[in-house]
Structure 1
Amino acid sequence: MTRRDLELEEKEFSVEYIIENGLDKSAYGFVYITTNLVNGKKYIGQRMFNKGWERYLGSGILLKYSIKKYGKNNFSKKITAITYSKNELDDLEIKFIKDYCAVENNNYYNISHGGINFFSNIGKHFSEEHKLKLSIANKRGNGINHFNYGKKASAETKAKMSVKKRNISEQTRRKLSEAGKKKIFSYETRKKMSESHRGSKNYNYGKRCSDETKQKLREINIGKKH
């Protein structure tokens, strides 16, 4: 262990200490290190002092997969730094991840460099170890391997998802509409498009419309004539 590792590890704040001293009310957030007690692998992350912070273990894809595999009881969390602003929290998380080489090190679950990390990997050259981590994360974050696979969303969650999709859909429709208005197709292009929808090539070929659908089409056509 390097001297820098020792300097980073010399501070540790227990949940009891934080609550007794009101730090969860006065401070912004904290940097933590979660450890898998079975294989020793770790995860460095950040968290605000909001609901559930005491039990929070981390949100990394590889970490969540391991928590699902080994169980929460086989993980421990150590709070190593307390901050009083978002910028300070981001900076310290980045520093810890960098100093421990957590992204490149296979003994860590981290796959991004921390901070405001949505685009933190853009333009970076990855080591073979990091590429392997990203590959595993992508495989485990999809389908049956996803940590939420098989879980049923609550009515409230479904409603939020529905609203979110509607908002995206409306915005997308406007963009497509504007883009469509600006396009002028040549005669050859229009002819090809027309032929691609004729006869057996049409996606509705062979399908029968219900009486309700027929009535709706009639009403639409009547409206066009007037």
Structure 2
Amino acid sequence: MAETWILYRTENLVNGKIYVGVHKISDTTRSRQYLGSGDKITAAIKKYGRKNFERITLAEFSCLKDAYSAEANLVNQEFVNRKDTYNVCLGGRGGVNFTEEMKVKLSIAKKGKPRSDETKAKIGAFNRGKITPEKTKEKMRTAATGKSLAVVVNGIYYPSSQIAGRKEGMLQGTLLYRAKSTSPKFINYRLATEEEKSAYTSNALE
């Protein structure tokens, strides 16, 4: 049976941060639920819970070297330096930082094994930020809208959950989740009423 490796992206559905890696697919629960093994992504999964992460496949490969080569092409220094990623090392060879010699060898290897048109399209779209499942797109739209939602936390009115998050010292997504929750333990978090929003606007105009 042919072996398959995937280039995948794992996204934190709470804060939008992502992790890109390579994984060998197998018919096991562990493989199907695999989200990444880097230090930062592992810590984030422990903090937010597996249910708040989603893995999507960017490309499939029958050769491990090709998978690592594609990862190296995406997870470059600029990608690692971004604030919205969990990757801490350059891509390729399981997260090992490349020397210039290794980069040249990878470049030569890539030239000798051209990618399929489908793989090229997927990787190109990822680089342009255009590969986003509909479910994830909806969550992103909801998160963007949530930034402007007025909330009340511990009796204090905030014109947006983004401002509230900064003032209360927590992630905007976490605060908004609590504000919308019906759980008794989050009784001090709620969305502001129309009357409260109108009163705030009136006071601001006076």
TM over 0.5: no
TM-score by length of 1: 0.40
The structure with the largest strand share of the pair is 2
What's the TM-score, normalizing by structure 2? 0.44
Larger radius of gyration: 1
